[in-house]
Amino acid sequence: MSVSPVRDTATVNLLSSVVTNPFKGLLPNSSSLNGSTVALQQLTLPYPEFPINGVTMQNNQAGSSYFESLNVRLQKRLTNGLTLLNNFIWNRLIDRLAYLNPSDPAPRSALRAIPGPSATSWLRLISCRSATAEGSACSPV
């Protein structure tokens, strides 16, 4: 509930404070939630009428993932059949599969590690032309 990057004592104290229970007398199977007061944190859960961690959501379709990739190719053709090629590949996988807190409305976004670093490759090609009467035309530049 807090957006602070450090422990937010005011929010922690507020969530652990006791408030009037709107479910008083309505929950016959729960003695802890049937009293006259309840912790405010309990009322912020998706299903406040059940104890904390009392509801397990199965087959929840809220998760997602997506893949981002950048592929760059640089090709330079020079004289005498010399060609320089450079390929660069960058990618990442981002998914939303896990909830950070039980009361979160959606899973949190997380960057997943993909094996291997970004890749760069260089290639020098020399093409051979047909042989002439003087000799071979396949000499490096």
Q: Range of 103's domain?
A: 58-128
Residue 85 lies in a domain: yes
| One domain for residues 101 and 74 | yes
Predicted confidence band at 141 (pLDDT cuts at 50, 70, 90)?
A: very low
| One domain for residues 110 and 63 | yes
**What digits encode the pLDDT tens for the residues 65-102?**
888 888 888 888 888 777 888 888 888 888 888 888 76
Q: Is 140 helix (H, G, I), strand (E, B) or coil?
A: coil
**What digits encode the pLDDT tens for the residues 2-31?**
667 788 888 888 888 999 988 888 877 767
- The single residue listed with the structure tokens 């090609």 is 125
| One domain for residues 86 and 48 | no
| One domain for residues 91 and 123 | yes
Q: Which residues fall within 8 angstroms of residue 131, CB to CB, at 6 or more apart?
A: 137
Q: Which of 15, 30, 56 is the last residue of a domain?
A: 56
| One domain for residues 40 and 71 | no
| One domain for residues 87 and 120 | yes
Backbone angles phi, psi at 130, to 5 degrees: -65, 145
Residue 141 lies in a domain: no
| One domain for residues 16 and 45 | yes
Residue 97 lies in a domain: yes
| One domain for residues 77 and 115 | yes
What does the alpha-carbon distance between residue 129 and residue 116 come to, in Å, rounded to a whole number?
Answer: 39
| Domains held by the chain: number | 2
| One domain for residues 88 and 124 | yes
